[in-house]
A and B are shown apart, each in its own frame.
Chain A
Amino acid sequence: MTAFEPEAVDVLVETNEKKVAAPRRRGELPIQISLFAIGALVALPIVVALFTSVTSLSEILRDPNSVWSPPWTFDNFVTAWTATPFGRFMVNSFIQTGLITIAQVLFSILAAYAFAMFRFPGRNLMFAVVLGSLMVPFELTFIPNFVLISNLGWANTYQGLVIPFLASAFGVFMLRQFFMALPRDLYDAAKIDGATDWYYLWKVVVPLSKGAIAALTIFSFLGAWNQYLWPLVITNEESMRTAQIGIRFFLVNQERATDWGAIMAGATIVMLPTLLVFLVAQKQLVKGIAMSGLKG
Chain B
Amino acid sequence: MATRAAEATTDAEPRRKRKLRGVKQGGMKAYLYLAPTLIVLLVFVYFPIIESFRLSLNRVAPFGSAEIFVGFEHYTRLLQSSEFWNNVLVSVFFMIGTVPIGIALAVGIALLLSYPVRRLAWAHRMLVFVPVVISSAIAGVLFRWLYNPVVGHINTWLGAIGIDGPDWLTSRSTALFAVTVAVVWRQLGFNVIIALAGLQQIDDVYYEAAKVDGASAWHRIRYITLPLLSPTLLFLVVINVIISFQAFGEIDILTQGGPGQATENLVYSVFVDGFVGTRFRGLASAQAFLLAIMVIAVSFIQFRGFRKRVHYG
Chain A residues in the interface with B (C-beta under 8 A): 2, 5, 8-9, 11-12, 15-16, 19-20, 22, 24-25, 28, 31-32, 34-36, 38-40, 42-43, 45-46, 48-49, 52, 60-61, 63-65, 103, 106-108, 110-111, 113-115, 118-123, 126, 129-130, 133, 135-148, 151, 163-169, 172, 197, 222, 225-229, 232-233, 244-245, 247-248, 251, 258, 260, 263-264, 267, 270-271, 274-275, 277-278, 282, 285-286, 289-290, 292-294, 296
B118:A20 contact, CB within 8 angstroms: yes
Closest 4 CB pairs of A and B: A39-B127, A226-B135, A290-B197, A167-B40
- The CA-CA distance from A255 to B127 in the complex, in Å, is 29
CB-CB contacts below 8 Å: B37-59 with A: 37-38, 40-49, 51-52, 55
**Does B122 sit within 8 A of A, measured CB to CB?**
yes
A118 in contact with B26 (CB, 8 Å): yes
Q: Which residues of B contact A118 (CB under 8 A)?
A: 26-27, 29-30, 33
- What A residues does B292 contact at CB under 8 A? 136-137, 139-140
Contacts of A292 in B (CB 8 A): 194
| A143–B40 CB distance below 8 A | no
Complex Cα gap A178–B185 (Å): 32
Residue of B nearest to A123 (CB): B30
Say whether A136 contacts B136, CB under 8 Å: no
Contacts of B312 in A (CB 8 A): 2
User: How far apart sit A293 and B238, CA to CA, in the bound complex (Å)?
Assistant: 11
* Additional 17 contacts, C-beta under 8 A, given A38-B128, A114-B30, A293-B197: A2-B312, A8-B197, A12-B200, A35-B124, A48-B146, A110-B36, A111-B33, A133-B45, A141-B52, A164-B40, A172-B37, A197-B29, A229-B249, A270-B137, A271-B133, A289-B193, A293-B236
Looking at chain B's contact residues, is the secondary structure mostly helix, strand, loop, or mixed?
A: helix
B162, CB-defined interface residue at 8 Å:
no
The reply to whether A126 and B29 form a contact with Cβ atoms under 8 Å apart is no
- Are the C-beta atoms of A140 and B132 separated by less than 8 Å? no
Is B185 in contact with A166, judged by CB distance below 8 angstroms? no
Q: A48-B145, A64-B152, A140-B292 are in contact. Are A113 and B138 (CB under 8 A)?
A: no
Cβ A64 vs Cβ B156 within 8 A: yes
Q: Main SS of chain A's interface residues?
A: helix
Report if A278-B33 is in contact (Cβ < 8 Å); known contacts: A140-B52, A248-B253, A293-B194. no
B123 at the interface (CB under 8 A from A): yes
B144 close to chain A: CB less than 8 A: yes
**B252 beta carbon closer than 8 Å to chain A:** yes
What is the CA–CA distance of A214 and B270 in the complex, to the nearest angstrom? 36
Identify the B interface with A (CB < 8 A).
23, 26-27, 29-31, 33-34, 36-38, 40-49, 51-52, 55, 65, 109, 112-113, 115-118, 120-139, 141-146, 148, 151-153, 156, 185, 188-190, 193-194, 196-198, 200-201, 231-232, 234-236, 242, 245-246, 248-249, 252-253, 266-267, 270-271, 274-275, 281, 284-285, 288-289, 291-292, 295-296, 299, 312
Whether A107 touches B145, Cβ cut-off 8 Å, given contacts A22-B116, A114-B33, is no
Q: Tell me which of A8, A38, A164 contacts B112 (CB under 8 A).
A: A38
**Which residues in B have their C-beta under 8 angstroms from that of A247?**
137-138, 141
A285 to chain B, nearest CB (A): 7
Which A residues are CB-close (under 8 A) to B144?
251
Does B196 lie within 8 Å of A107, measured CB to CB? no
Known: A114-B30, A244-B138. A167 touches B151 (CB 8 A): no
If A31-B117, A39-B127 touch, whether A294 touches B201 (CB-CB below 8 Å) is yes
User: How many Å from the CB of A130 to the closest CB on chain B?
Assistant: 7
B32 to chain A, nearest CB (A): 8
Q: Is the CB of A274 within 8 A of B133?
A: yes
A61-B151, A144-B47, A282-B129 known; A228-B188 Cβ under 8 A: no
User: In the complex the two chains form, is B151's CB within 8 Å of A64's CB?
Assistant: yes
Can you list 27 A-B contacts (CB < 8 A)? Answer: A20-B116, A22-B116, A31-B117, A32-B120, A39-B123, A43-B130, A46-B142, A61-B151, A64-B152, A65-B156, A111-B33, A137-B295, A138-B246, A139-B270, A141-B49, A143-B274, A143-B284, A145-B44, A147-B65, A148-B43, A226-B135, A228-B135, A228-B249, A229-B271, A267-B141, A278-B130, A293-B236
